[in-house]
Structure formats: C-alpha cells, structure tokens
Amino acid sequence: MAVFAAVFVALFAAHSVGDHWVQTHHQACAKGAPTAAGRLACLRHVVTLTATKTAALAALALVTGLTLHPIALLAGLGVDALSHYWADRRMTLARLAEALGKGGFYRLGAPRPGTDDAPHLGTGAYALDQSWHIGFLFIAALIIAA
C-alpha cells in the first residue's frame, strides 16, 4: 500500500508540473486542433509530460530505494499517456461530457462566440479535464504498484 501511495503522489505532483509548467504555450493552444499539427502538438505535450512523470518516479526511487518493476512502470505510464492524449485532443472529452449529460458543465465559463473572452482555469472543461487525468493517475499508480 505504501508503494501505491508514494507512486500516486509522485505522479500527481509531476502531472501538475508537466501539465502547467512544462507544457509550452504552443502545445496548449494547438493540441486540440483537428489537424496533423494539432495531433503533433498533443503528442509533444504528452511526451514531455510523461518524461516529467518518469523523472519524478526516478527521483522517488533514488531517494527512497523503492524498486519498481520495469514492465509495470511502462504499462502504467503507457496507460496514463494514452488517456492523457485522448482527453487533450479536446473534442473527445467534449463528446464524452455531452454523452454523459455533462455538456453544460463542460461549457461552463467558456468564452462567448465572437468575443475576445479568454477561457480561464475556472472552466468546466478544465475541471473535467483535470479530473479525468487524476482518475488515470490513480489507475497508473495501481498498475505500477502491482
């Protein structure tokens, strides 16, 4: 149980840093575009995010002496990376929110069409995005700790 807790905390901290500090402005703006450039921006974001999580887990192992099974580590980080890419393409998470009756919440705080309003971190889309990612951090930590 302690391994799971340590891994989850490391992934959670690295997620916050990687999603907000490591991600470039270009990646953040372009990753949802329905184009090859959008897919590439999202892929680059997920690669740097996964590298940030890998570094956090390496630091955890170095400082605590924790040994993580390489296959479990790759599987957990892989599941997390795939889920992150899926959600960050934006239209995927928006469609899921609509299908589950959460479309109104997803659009909460979104800029009004035809205005220069800028979405801020208080949007429903951001809340659903981050809760999706945290849920998959939990799954990844379970896989890695198994």
59-84 per-position pLDDT tens digit: 999 999 999 999 999 999 999 999 99
Residue 116 lies in a domain: no
The reply to whether 114 falls in a domain is no
Mean pLDDT over 55-60 rounds to 98
Host H or E run for residue 67: none
Q: Which residue has the higher pLDDT, 123 or 31?
A: 31
- Residue 132 belongs to some domain of the structure: yes
Non-local CB neighbours of 50 within 8 Å, separated by 6+ positions: 18, 77, 80, 81
Amino acid (1-letter code) at residue 5: A
pLDDT at 119: 58
> Is the whole-model pTM more than 0.85?
yes
More confident residue, 79 or 29: 79
What letter represents residue 43's amino acid?
Answer: L
18, 53 Cβ separation under 8 angstroms: yes
Q: Would the pLDDT of 144 be above 90? A: yes
Number of structural domains in the chain: 1
